[in-house]
Amino acid sequence: MASFSLDQTEIRACYQALSKQLEQEISELEPALIDIRRTLHKNPEVSGEEKQTSQFICKTLRDDGLTPQLMQNDIGVIADVTLGTPAPDAPLIAIRADIDALRITDQKEVDYCSHNPGVGHLCGHDAHTSIALGAALGSRRFTEIFESEWPGQGLRLRFIFQPAEEICMGARWMVEQGAMENVAAIIGLHMDPEIAAGTANIRYGVMTAFCDEVHFEIHGLGAHAARPHHGNDPITTAAQLISSLYQNLPRSIDSRMPAVFTIGQITSGQAPNVIPEIAVLKGSLRSTNDHARDVLHRRIDDIAEGIAKSTGTRIETLFKSPLPAVVNDTTISAALEQASRDVLGSEQVGLIDQPSMGGEDFSIYLQTTPGSMLRLGCAKPGQKTAFLHSPYFDIDERALALGSRILLQTALLLSLNPQLIKKGS
């Protein structure tokens, strides 16, 4: 565990008193958080279309006396909360939740199953939103303890409810609209169905992969299927290209550096008896190291050029939608770990040894501001696990209140120790 301590006796006492109060307040909110999560789960919206979800978030916050701001195109929400009397230079701590759903049919047999055909909250974003709402509502309920027992102490929070995480665009939209202005640190979490509710894992350093979409457009020469010598088959070239990429890319970088390349889409032709003019391949490149990523980019270009030359075709290669890795800041991660241990118990908190090969646009916020993301267990005891993006994915809803407490206590730790954020790691 990284070092994270409250140096002053008074600050430690403040943290412990507020933590105890927070436990009580969030416990009382737990039934409401479950209702919020189930309402969201029944009414999922895909990336870029989260208007009703954003309105629901705004109403929930307004009903508790907060003043949320609806973002451009009526999707996405931010809300600032000031508790107590923070110093003029007190850090502004952001808590981020993603709000979009997936184009997957929810096949669970529960009364809160999706009511939107073909769309489902099957990555846990409804839980993330509920947890952040719980943190916002819970924080409001211990304002008085700051004012009565800890004058001169306070907490500045910004809640970011971000759309379009699944298409890796929402974080960019929020940053462009000023959501990160004056933010000193940002924290978030993600549901993890591979560990039980009541547990959490933290990763120091690189947590997720660099992600690139890779598109290939192969130009051949169309012909009759019975006379391939009259043309130049781009599908044959596509098969060679895929085989060559799969064979050579893993051997292009240090085998100790995780990286994976996958073709996920092939489009070509209109009829079974016609050799088409064009074949289009779309794939995903994941890497965890800047150097490895650069090497793989060059190798992909080289392999495509070589295949094009040997087959007499023309191959256009395009790298799209680059997404940086989530690199967790050491100081912020230590605060998340400490808060998790305080809420869950030390034995319930572990360290993640290897980065995930998945992508997460939380990384966009980290380009200018230190932050960290936690993996929060949500598996139900005694039940077969349904993983993220499964049509049967669900959570143990006990994770909701625990997540709200962890995020708020992390923000409290950072606010009471602002010099650690400024110092960084």
| 121-148: average pLDDT | 89
The DSSP code for 280 is E
pLDDT at 88: 83
**Complete DSSP assignment for 320-364:** EEEEPPPEE-HHHHHHHHHHHHHHH-GGGEEE--S--SS--THHH
Residue for token pair 């794939």: 283
Is 389 labeled as ligand-binding?
A: yes
Question: Is residue 423 over pLDDT 60?
Answer: no
Nearest CA among 102, 295, 294, 322 for reference residue 211: 322
Note whether 76 and 52 are within 8 A (CB). no
pLDDT at 150: 73
Quickly state the pLDDT bin for 3 (edges 50, 70, 90). low
pLDDT at 104: 97
Q: Which domains are delineated in the chain?
A: 9-208+325-420 (3.40.630.10), 210-323 (3.30.70.360)
Nearest CA among 245, 304, 313, 227 for reference residue 278: 313
CB atoms within 10 A of CB 104: 19
Q: β-strand 327-328 against 183-196: which pairing, if any?
A: unpaired
Question: Is residue 114 over pLDDT 90?
Answer: yes
pLDDT digits (tens, 9 = 90+) for 48-76: 999 999 999 999 999 999 999 999 999 99
Residue for token pair 């680059």: 322
Question: Is residue 257 over pLDDT 70?
Answer: yes
pLDDT at 2: 56
pLDDT at 425: 46
Strands (E) across 197-277 are located at 200-202, 205-206, 210-219, 223-224, 259-268, 274-275
pLDDT digits (tens, 9 = 90+) for 362-390: 999 999 999 999 999 999 998 888 999 99
Question: Is residue 424 over pLDDT 50?
Answer: no
Question: Is residue 9 over pLDDT 90?
Answer: no
Distance, CA of 52 to CA of 48 (rounded, Å): 11
Q: Is the sign of the CA dihedral 61, 63, 67, 70 positive or negative?
A: positive
Question: Is residue 274 over pLDDT 60?
Answer: yes
| 74-83: average pLDDT | 96
pLDDT digits (tens, 9 = 90+) for 168-206: 999 999 999 999 999 999 999 999 999 999 999 999 999
Is 166 labeled as ligand-binding?
A: yes
| Residue scoring higher pLDDT (89 or 38) | 38
Strand order in the sheet with 314-323: 259-268, 278-287, 210-219, 314-323
Is 230 labeled as ligand-binding?
A: no
pLDDT at 21: 86
Nearest CA among 199, 188, 140, 142 for reference residue 22: 142
Question: Is residue 142 over pLDDT 80?
Answer: no
Distance, CA of 219 to CA of 366 (rounded, Å): 40
Strand order in the sheet with 69-70: 69-70, 77-84, 154-162, 92-98, 183-196, 371-379, 200-202, 349-351
Note whether 199 and 348 are within 8 A (CB). yes
Question: Is residue 92 over pLDDT 70?
Answer: yes
Note whether 179 and 78 are within 8 A (CB). yes
User: What is the pTM assigned to this prediction?
Assistant: 0.92
pLDDT digits (tens, 9 = 90+) for 208-220: 999 999 999 999 9
Query: What one-letter code names the amino acid at 337?
Result: E
| 237-257: average pLDDT | 96
Question: Is residue 286 over pLDDT 50?
Answer: yes
**Percent of the chain with pLDDT strictly greater than 90:** 84
Is 123 labeled as ligand-binding?
A: yes
Quickly state the pLDDT bin for 13 (edges 50, 70, 90). confident
Distance, CA of 47 to CA of 99 (rounded, Å): 8
Cβ-count burial 323-352 (b if 16+ within 10 Å, e if not): bbbbbbbbbbbbbbbbbbbbbbeeebbeeb
| 15-44: average pLDDT | 94
